[in-house]
Chain A
Amino acid sequence: GAVVSQHPSRVICKSGTSVKIECRSLDFQATTMFWYRQFPKQSLMLMATSNEGSKATYEQGVEKDKFLINHASLTLSTLTVTSAHPEDSSFYICSATGGAEFQETQYFGPGTRLLVL
């Protein structure tokens, strides 16, 4: 149980384009999903928290208009990097929590490597 998937696993895009990353909870209903960013050889930085059906809560310093988060269903959250630039290149990881069994623990997806040229 508690499997979280991400798609795509790797994406390369041109500067100025937008990229959408999907995060799905496969075997439980995720009432809350988290989006993290990880730079090489560093820890995870929380970007935002999203609850199903409501607006995401962004951490200080994270541009909400640049990193659009949608949590439209209990199994899917999406992160859209709008007008991507090379400095947005990073490893993006989502996590999910929810349901009676998985409420107290975050389960992580495998991550998405974004490279903006």
Chain B
Amino acid sequence: AQSVTQPDIHITVSEGASLELRCNYSYGATPYLFWYVQSPGQGLQLLLKYFSGDTLVQGIKGFEAEFKRSQSSFNLRKPSVHWSDAAEYFCAVALTGGGNKLTFGTGTQLKVEL
């Protein structure tokens, strides 16, 4: 069965610092990959997705993610974090497309220090 691992439960960064959130998946083929962000008490907002092609994908709010097949990873990055980025971040994978069942990681809680 496919699985998604987000090794960091909590991350704290200073405002203006760079950010990298890790995501590893376990699956035989290359799944469809997603990053979502959830603010407290809210639903999930799609940050970016990877289906195929260029392995560096750009998303909203200045986020980007890089797919590395050899490492089965899809890490999320941002060069300069803003206080408003404090939220919960979920990595998710789908077998054949996001329209099918998503498997979520356990999430990484990001705290931004001013």
Contacts and interface: CB of A to CB of B under 8 A. Distances in A.
Nearest to B6: A43
B105 A104 contact: no
Given A105-B46, A109-B43, A113-B41, A97 B104 contact: no
B90 to A, nearest CB: 7
Contacts of B102: 34, 46, 106
Contacts of B55: none
**Interface on chain A toward B: helix, strand, loop, or mixed SS?**
strand
A104 B99 CA distance: 5
Contacts of A93: 43-44
A42 B102 CA distance: 15
A105 B44 CA distance: 12
A97 B102 CA distance: 12
Interface in B38-53: 41-46, 49, 51
B63 interface: no
Given A6-B43, A108-B36, A103 B99 contact: yes
Given A42-B106, A108-B43, A113-B41, 16 more contacts: A4-B43, A31-B99, A32-B99, A34-B101, A41-B109, A44-B104, A49-B101, A93-B44, A97-B99, A104-B32, A104-B51, A104-B97, A105-B46, A105-B99, A108-B36, A109-B43
